[in-house]
Amino acid sequence: MADRFSRNLGAALRRDPLGAVLLALVGALVLLCLLAPVVTRTDPTATDFARMLMPPSTGNWLGTDDFGRDVFARLLFGGRTSLAVAAVAVVIVMGIGVVVGIAAGYFGGVVDLVLGKLIDVLLAFPRLVLAIAVAALMGGGITSLIVAISAVAWPAYARILRAFTLQVANEGYVQAARTLGTPVWRILGGHVALNLIGPILVLAMLDLGNLILAISALSFLGLGVAPPAPEWGAMLNEGRALMEIAPWMVVAPGMAIFLVVLSANYFADIARDSTEGRAVHGPRDWIAWRRPRAAPAPPLPAAATAPLLAFEGVTVDVVDPRSPYCGRRILHGVGLSVGPRECVGLIGESGSGKSTLAMLAMGLTRPPLALTGGTVRLSGRDTAAWRWDDWRRVRGCHVGLVNQDPLSALNPVLTIGEQIGEAMAAHDAVPPDARPARLREVVDEVGLPASVVGRYPHELSGGMRQRVVIAMAIVNRPALLIADEPTTALDVSTQRRILDLIRDLGQHYGLGVLFVSHDLRVIARVADRVVILREGRVVETGATAAVFAVPREAYTRALMAAIPGQHRQPQVAEV
Amino acid sequence: MLSVEGLSKRYHGHDAVRDVSFRVAPGEIVGLVGASGSGKSTIARCILGLERPDAGRVRYGDADLVTREGRRGARRAIQVVFQDPRSSLNPRWTVRRILSEPLETWVGREAAAARTARLHALLGQVTLSTDLLARYPHELSTGQCQRLCVARALACGPSLLVLDEPLSALDVSVQARMLAMLRALHAAGGPSYLLITHDFAVVREICHRVLVLDSGRIVETGPVAQVLDRPSHAVTRALLLDALPLPFQTTPAAEPLSDHPVPNLHDATAGAPSP
């Protein structure tokens, strides 16, 4: 973990020069503050009324303030206080927040109730008022400043981290650790806290700026660092009234706070990504979408003689240089076509490239993958020149998608009617006044009762949810349906019914279906033709019955032999 | 060994499990079959102590698993492999640390060489390469992750392994090799299995006895051959009918399982991580 973190962090900083520059600037600033007595011999509190409000010069690099004090010296000495107090406060705030948040989230019950109420009470008071009260009770000085700030800042973090803990506590590895008999403290440290490190880092850095400003507010009220001792927030306040005649008084501490907060946030992002094992991929190249179109927009012909979907020598590579698999070929010149009323079964194991192929047909290929050769045709049209918006008009209208997990495909806060309505509203295929009727019709087509329209996804069973996803995919009467492992998450009975539904819909409405699965039994149930994909290459193709009756390739035979249920456990005589 | 008597559990006012009783004997492989929502996983969670039953007793030997003390005593003996191998492994831990977790609890401190030897032995039991120790879960294929979950469960030295849909997340060919591995492990004196699944084909391949569950109740129970070939209950018959048939003719599988060649579709040690 630590090794990987430092390795990733080093790589991230080399890739991202801005991060390295910001980090270097802050490092320099912190170093200057630490070495303040060496760097400048000027006493930051020495007043000299003869040199009031002098602009920056060789004698006073950042000018002087209204007491004639050197702003540079005050900035460096002030930074020692500001940064030290903020750092200590962040550690205390996050420490309490993490402990309370994890305890409330993991143990639940009475612990959660008591801590939750405490947090509620503390959050009910305005933060600053509470801090002033605490600081006033404790008297002035830096210790009371830290205590006051920490005391009011932790509840918000405890609450956020409690929510994250609830999520992590339900992960399989935490459940597994409980059954392994791992002691609670080790589960909390090794599993829960370790996986909260991302949010913890980001929250801590986000709050650094707030804390510096809170320190200044308390200092301003005379409850923190007492004047004339320098402190960044206090310097901002002193300079505020004189901003027009002596802007340097505000600019110097302002820039220092800005630099620290900006760098902390920027660094937090890089650090968080570095704790992840996988490379984090940003969204695809937005600029590429705005390139001028090479071909006119592609409204597809309603009835064409060409196949609905045709892949010709399609090659897909990992092209992102940041990916450790850069240069790996995912698809090697794959050819495949789907005609009207035809169901083509695409069989392959994990990593065979079958889902990559399905995504290509939807224009959803994402970094680090890219189409590097061959053509993808929809109803005979070459899609190479299509841009985001062209694909958007095709998806859900001419091509529908049903994927594996019906729960994650549905929005939990929308009713079924609203979700299907959304699919219609995205396209003009169904005129607005016909939409209510089409909604009722499509719900019936997928075999759901009409009452389902007003219900939410969590109220439905897995099979019903998958029917809703199918309804969304076919509501605009697409010509082509892509089904990517649509029954893998379902039990045998539901699986059979969903397969029959897809087959019947295909025959009844003349849909072309590309059905992706690793299960030969499933493919045999729905597909007219099969294409067997292995490591990005088509190894065998033909009519379903023919391929299974006389498999030509050894790989096909191996896949057939792997189906469970062909061999029996010998029965033990006496149990 | 494991005995469940009159187990009941309600969630949000509906009965997930109703008055379920069964036993698992030492060395036995018992299948627990039912549709989604029939209460299979709830029974598993009650056995594992992740859920407190509303009524009934779950005993393991002399230990009462419903009480905290009883669970503590039996914790080591009952281990679990969940359906989704990816979420069952801490993404921030290496394979070495994942496998060491139960060893730290149950074996305690030991010399580095002894620990490594133990880890190698565990990986060997699930036919994983020892080169994987320094890897992270996302660098392994799903099949490798599931084997790792089995190895972690075995590290405690359990006498009962609860397998909660251990094959559902895997490809058919990976399933076949996983089944072969589980069978070999059992043949080599490994733990009893309580195998939760909705796939009768898997039950036929590995189980001795099967319990059929419907709406939280056990509707049929008996030896695999009897229940699968001569089902007496309508629910069992419906489930069997819904199971998809083999898409081709096979010769009746009369040969002993140990001779059944498991197709090695790809090198077992080569990872196939998604990019």
Q: Rounded to a whole number, what is the distance in Å from the CA of A534 to chain B's nearest CA?
A: 10
CB contact set of A403 (below 8 Å; sequence gap of 6+): A409, A469, A483, A484, A485, A486
Contact A527, A541 (CB under 8 A): no
Among residues A404, A386, A397, A376, the alpha carbon closest in space to that of A495 is found at A404
A565 Cβ under 8 Å from any chain B Cβ: yes
Nearest CA in chain A to B47: A179
Q: In this structure, what token pair is assigned to residue A32?
A: 């200057």
Please state the φ and ψ torsions of residue A311, each to the nearest 5 degrees: -100, 130
A189 Cβ under 8 Å from any chain B Cβ: no
Strands (E), chain B: 2-11, 14-24, 29-34, 55-60, 63-64, 78-81, 160-164, 192-197, 209-214, 217-223
Among residues A180, A14, A108, the alpha carbon closest in space to that of B93 is found at A180
Q: How far apart are CA A271 and CA A278, in angstroms?
A: 13
**Which residue in B202, B245, B257 is closest to A521 by CB distance?**
B245
Nearest CA in chain A to B223: A571
B90/A194 touch (CB, cutoff 8 Å), yes or no: yes
- What residues in chain A have per-residue pLDDT under 70? 1-2, 277-304, 568-575
- How confident is the model at residue B152, as a pLDDT? 94
Name residue, tokens 């500001």: A82
- How confident is the model at residue B247, as a pLDDT? 76
CB contact set of B268 (below 8 Å; sequence gap of 6+): B127, B128, B129, B177
- How confident is the model at residue A281, as a pLDDT? 55
A327 Cβ under 8 Å from any chain B Cβ: no
B120 Cβ under 8 Å from any chain A Cβ: no
Please state the φ and ψ torsions of residue A213, each to the nearest 5 degrees: -70, -35
Q: Which of B40, B60, B101 is most worth mutating to test chain A (most A CB atoms within 10 A of its CB)? A: B101
- How confident is the model at residue A569, as a pLDDT? 58
Strands (E), A218-270: none
Q: Which of B14, B90, B185, B203 is most worth mutating to test chain A (most A CB atoms within 10 A of its CB)? A: B90
**What is the DSSP track for A47-96?**
--GGGTTPPS-SSSTT-B-TT--BHHHHHHHHHHHHHHHHHHHHHHHHHH
- B44-79 tens-digit pLDDT: 989 988 888 999 999 998 888 888 888 887 888 999
Q: In this structure, what token pair is assigned to residue A465?
A: 């949810």
All residues of chain A having their beta carbon less than 8 Å from the beta carbon of residue B172 are 349, 518-520, 559, 562-564
Q: How far apart are CA A71 and CA A59, in angstroms?
A: 11
Q: Rounded to a whole number, what is the distance in Å from the CA of A272 to chain B's nearest CA?
A: 12
- A236-275 tens-digit pLDDT: 888 888 888 888 888 998 899 888 888 888 888 888 777 7
- B16-51 tens-digit pLDDT: 899 999 999 999 999 999 888 888 889 998 998 888
ipTM: 0.84
Contact B224, B209 (CB under 8 A): yes
A180/B79 touch (CB, cutoff 8 Å), yes or no: yes
Name residue, tokens 């009746």: B252
Residues pairing with B15 in the sheet: B10
- How confident is the model at residue A299, as a pLDDT? 56
pLDDT above 70: residue B127: yes
- How confident is the model at residue B96, as a pLDDT? 94
A17 Cβ under 8 Å from any chain B Cβ: no
- A300-335 tens-digit pLDDT: 655 557 888 999 999 999 887 777 778 889 999 999
B198/A524 touch (CB, cutoff 8 Å), yes or no: no
- B69-120 tens-digit pLDDT: 888 878 889 999 998 898 999 988 999 999 999 998 888 888 889 999 999 9
A524/B244 touch (CB, cutoff 8 Å), yes or no: yes
B102/A182 touch (CB, cutoff 8 Å), yes or no: yes
The strand order across the sheet containing B29-34 reads B78-81, B160-164, B192-197, B29-34, B209-214, B217-223
Number of Cβ within 10 Å of residue A413's Cβ equals 8
